[in-house]
Structure formats: C-alpha cells, structure tokens
Amino acid sequence: MPPSQGTSWSEYGERPLELKRLVHLLGPSLRLVWRASPSETVVLLVLQALSGLALPAQVLAGKWALDEVLAAGRAGAGMESALPAVAVAVGTLTIGRLVSTASRQRQRLLPELVGQTAMTMLAAKAVALDLVALETPAFHDRLVRAQEQARFRPANLVMDLGMIVTSGVAVAGLAVVLVTVHPVLLLLLVAAMLPLWSTSISGGRAFYRHMLLNTPNRRVIGYLRGLLTIRESAKEARAFGLGPYLLEKQQRLFDRQMVELRRLIGQRLRRELLASFASSVVSAAGLMIVLWLHFSDQISIGELAAGVGALLLVVPRLGWLVEATGLLHENALFVEDFWSFLEQTPPQMATSSSEPPPPSLSKVSVNDVSFTYPESEVRALKGVSMEIARGETVALVGENGAGKTTLAKLLCRLYDPSSGTISWDGRDITSCDPDDLRGRIAVIFQDFVQYQLSARENVGFGNLGAIDDHGAVSQAARRAGAHDFLEALPDGYETMLGRIFETGHELSIGQWQKVALARAFIREAPLVIMDEPTASLDARAEYNVFETMRELFKDRAVLLISHRFSSVRMADRIYVLDDGRVVQSGNHDELIAAGGLYAELFGLQAASYSQAR
C-alpha cells in the first residue's frame, strides 16, 4: 500500500510500528509467497511447525524418561520398567531430526520460486507502464529499488516465515513446559523477549529508510560502473582513458554512502548488545529461580531438568524468533514497496477504453498537438497539425531537436499529447486500447534495438505471429536486403547475433539496420513510421531499400523521418519542423521554390556533397 498523497516514502518508513501495522505488512508478503506455489507453501509451513513442536516434545519426553529411570531406581525395579519412556524419548529425538532435515531441504525450493515470481511480475509491469514514466528520476528510483529488492527480499521472506513458525512453535511449547514448572518463569520469558523485539524492529525500519534515501546514490554508482563494462560506452571510456576518473568518482560516492551505513550499524549493534545483555540477565534469573525451587523441595529432579533444559533451549530460539520477526518487518517493508510499484495504473490504461482502433485506415490526422516532457518546462511540440493518408508517403524534416522523433512517439501512442488530438479516420487514438493501436503500426526508430538473440527472432519480433514462419521471416529479410548475409551465418537464421552470448556473431551497423528494417517489413500494419531508416546504409543500399518501400508500402500510410534530403524527395508531402512547430509543408519542388528553411537545409546538404566531390 503506497503512502498517502503528500507523504514521502522516507516519512512512511518513519511511522512507529504497531502490531496492526505488522499484521498489515504480512498480507502482501504472504500473498506473494502463496502466488509462487501454494503447495510448497503449505508443505513448508507444516514441516516448520512440526520441527518447532519437536523441541518441547523432546524436553517433555526427556523429563518423563528421567522420572521413570529415577522411580525405577528408588523402587529397586529393573530397567525394563523405564524402557518405554526411554524409547519414546529416543523416538521423539529421531523424528525431530528427520523433520528438521526434510524442512531444511524443502526450504531451498520456495525461495527460488518466490524470487522468480517476483522478477516476472516486475518485468510484466515494466512492459505495461507508459513510456512517460521513464522520463522521471523518481520513477527510476522506485524501479531500481523494486528490481534490487525483488532479487532477494521475497526469498528472504520465506526464510523469515519459516524461522518464525519453527521458533514460534518451539518457544510456545517450551513456554508450556516452563509453566508446568512454575508460572513466574513465563513472565520472565516475556520480559527477556521485549528488549530484543523492540531493538530488532526499530533496526529493520532504520535500514529500510537508509536504503530508501540512498537509492539515487546507488543508481549513480551503478551507472558509472556500467560505463566501463557496457559495450556501447566501454570503447569510448577506454579511448579517452576515463577508467581511473570514473572508478574514483564511484568510489567516492560509495564511501559517502558507507559513512551513513556504518553509523547506522554502530547504533544497531549497541542497542542489540544492550538488549542481549538484558535478556541474558533475565534468563539467568530464571535459572536461579528453578534451582531455588528444587533445593527448597518445591519441584522434583525431573522438573528441575525440564525447567533448566527448557530455559537453555528457549533462549536461542527466542533470539531467533525475535530476529526473524525483525527481518520479516524489514523485508515486508520492501515487499510492500514492491507491491505498490506493481499496483501503479498507467495513465494511458486508466483513461483508455478497451475499444480497438477503426478496422481500416484512410487517414491519420494530427490536430493542433502540443507536448511537454515530464519535469520539463519547454514544449517539444507546439500546435502541430498534419495529415498522413493511406497510399502516400509523408516526410518530416528539420534540424536536431525540432521535435520529429517526439511526434513519431505520439503517433505510436508511447506518449499522449499535452493538448490537441491525434485521430485515425476521425477517432481520437486516446479512446483506443494502446496495445491494439500499436499492433496496427510498424515503426523503426533511429536508435533501433540490436537484440542479442537469433537472427530469426530479430526479424520476427516485428510480427510475433510469424516468428516461427521461416518463409515470412526470410521474405522480410530479402526486402530489407538482409537475407544473403543472414543466410550465410553459421546457423543461418538461428545464429545468435551480437557478442554478449556464446556463439554470437556480430554484424556491422549497416547490417543491423537492415535487420531492423526487416522487422518493419514483416509487420502487416496500415501505418508505417520510419525514423532515419537508412542512416547507416550506403548509397546503393539506401536506393534499393527505398525502391522496395515504394512497392511494399504503396497501399499504406507512411511517415518518413530523415535528415537525408535525397530520401525525402520521394515523399508525396513534406512537413518542415522548426523548434516544435510546422513552418512549411508541400512537396520537394514546391518547398524549393518557396525558399525558407527547407531550401536552406537542402542547399547546405547539396553544397557539402559538391565540396566532397
């Protein structure tokens, strides 16, 4: 459950713990464990409970056996009369060990299942969230914290719950034994638990706050380390000799974080040492009481043995119970944070209907659209209006930062306009299901992804329904000019691309771009958006691609974004963006004749080619 509006997550961690609050935290935690595997959860809890019951059963069985042996000795009877009690004691000890072993082994399964369930849920949520969320640092803080904690916190919860069940049952059973010796021993047991419990809970809450407040710092440290190890940045980091500087910078940030962590651990250690000392004093008092009761002839030697044994056994179990409760509270805070991340409702999903877009497409209209990125005061688009009709190619040109890619993202409904509308055949796309809408669009962005997977998957991702259709995949690759080099790979279309994984085969940037184009060609979509689709291709390859596009997309609506004026000349209509506004529109000849920004940019590019020759 997320904090109420106006309450920060750090303030949320500061809330004093109440029993009701702890029970409330257990809900999401148990829900996650149960979701991972109901059967394993039940089996583990039963084994943990039996393991906990074994300890007081062993103490009681030992007391009975000792009483029987002493009674047989006093009566002068043979040991046969004590054998049943001794057999029960040995049997109880054996069963306890067997149950404990089974519990320990089964406990290895559930944490793995819970961790996998948590990571899968997190990945599914990340896919569902709007792209606009990725534009805010606060979202990245929560995402990174959820990713970090989902790796081990849910698994830790299983361990905590298991320890609580085992230790709790054992402590409860041993408490019954102590009550049979003398009721005052139960009061001493409670008194020994309170300081440990308070310290453990407050320590977990403090660590949660520390992790919460240091999330941005950890993100920066991770980013700096990644610059040295991720392929895309590693080559430049080495070329410029950035290694020592980046290492020193991340170490400085880490040291700053460790100062606070050391202070926190020091405080926690002092409190736990005092609490442990106080509990030991109370436990020692309990032992003295038991001895006094025996020597004052108020309890038998068997009761003495049971009381001393119960006290000696209950103290470590009590410590484990309290520690597990504190860790459960700490882990539950993180798991609650994890659930709150999963329960976010993407704004697009919250405001959209489930209706699909119109079945056919005649025209896409952009009507007075403006857009501002989150946490920015500068509008990326300002009152843009344009149309893309079926059967025509419309081009967007303009200098860097003019808003071309932003408009493409809005057409794909990766963002929603701040004002204005985008419509398919007169229907506002914000009234359409986002996933259905995107299924009707084939898009290749200028920063296309190089999937480190098989060549078949790299092409087939454009149309998952055809990903196993070799004919469709190879046909799309042919149209993009990629078939020959993909077919020639060691395992053909099943060859892994890239160098991240074993047996991977690297492609040139131009070949990667052809593979990305094939992803667009395999998708039967009425709207095609291509953002710098030939930026990495040579002149011959670019010519061949555009010849293919003319034939392949002749019955579709095509938006082409390019800095190459040789490419946009083929467009039926060209829109010129400048500082987020449409400043000109028309075909190439009309725009050249009109002068202005298009003619200026075209002239600069033409001049650069002339000078190059």
Please report the pLDDT score of residue 346 as a whole number.
60
All structural domains of the chain, each given as residue ranges with its CATH number in brackets, are: 18-343 (1.20.1560.10), 353-439+557-606 (3.40.50.300), 441-524 (3.40.50.300)
> By C-alpha distance, which of 386, 372, 330 is closest to 572?
386
3-state secondary structure of 315: helix
> What residue ranges in 514-556 does DSSP mark as E strands?
527-531
pLDDT in tens, 87-98: 888 888 888 888
Question: Which pLDDT band, with edges at 50, 70 and 90, does 5 fall under?
Answer: very low
Question: What's the rounded mean pLDDT across residues 382-407?
Answer: 91
Question: Which pLDDT band, with edges at 50, 70 and 90, does 352 fall under?
Answer: low
Pick from 164-168, 229-233, 268-272, 421-425 the range whose average pLDDT is largest.
421-425
454: Cα separation from own chain's centroid: 25
Both tokens of residue 9? Answer: 């997550």
pLDDT in tens, 547-560: 777 777 888 899 99
Among 64-78, 112-126, 169-183, 519-533, which is the least confidently predicted range? Answer: 64-78
Question: What's the rounded mean pLDDT across residues 103-113?
Answer: 79
Of residues 235 and 7, the one with the higher pLDDT is 235
pLDDT in tens, 312-332: 777 777 777 777 777 777 777
Task: Judge whether residue 444 has pLDDT over 50.
Answer: yes
Task: Judge whether residue 3 has pLDDT over 50.
Answer: no
Residues in CB range of 251: below 8 A, 6 or more apart = none
pLDDT in tens, 223-272: 888 888 777 777 788 878 888 888 999 899 999 888 888 888 887 777 77
Of residues 250 and 132, the one with the higher pLDDT is 250
Both tokens of residue 554? Answer: 């002749």
As a whole number of angstroms, the distance between CA 439 and CA 465 comes to: 11
Question: What's the rounded mean pLDDT across residues 216-222?
Answer: 86
Question: Which pLDDT band, with edges at 50, 70 and 90, does 10 fall under?
Answer: very low
Please report the pLDDT score of residue 272 as a whole number.
72
Please report the pLDDT score of residue 577 as a whole number.
93
Total-model pTM: 0.70
Please report the pLDDT score of residue 381 as a whole number.
94
DSSP for 25-94, please give it.
Answer: HHHHHHHHHHHH-HHHHHHHHHHHHHHHHHHHHHHHHHHHHHHHHHHHHHHT--GGGGHHHHHHHHHHHH
Among 225-229, 360-364, 488-492, which is the least confidently predicted range? Answer: 225-229
pLDDT in tens, 332-342: 777 777 777 77
Task: Judge whether residue 14 has pLDDT over 50.
Answer: no
Please report the pLDDT score of residue 9 as a whole number.
38
**What proportion of the chain, given as a percentage, has pLDDT over 70?**
88
Residue 586 bridge partners (DSSP): 574
Among 282-291, 558-567, 586-595, which is the least confidently predicted range? Answer: 282-291
Going across the sheet that includes 379-389, the strands are 379-389, 363-372, 419-424, 427-428
Which long-range contacts link 401-405 to residues 24+ away (Cβ below 8 Å)? Answer: 401/579, 402/577, 402/578, 402/579, 402/580, 403/577, 403/579, 403/580, 404/531, 404/561, 404/577, 405/445, 405/446, 405/531, 405/561
Pairing outcome for strands 363-372 and 379-389: antiparallel
As a whole number of angstroms, the distance between CA 203 and CA 216 comes to: 22
DSSP for 387-401, please give it.
Answer: EEETT-EEEEE-STT
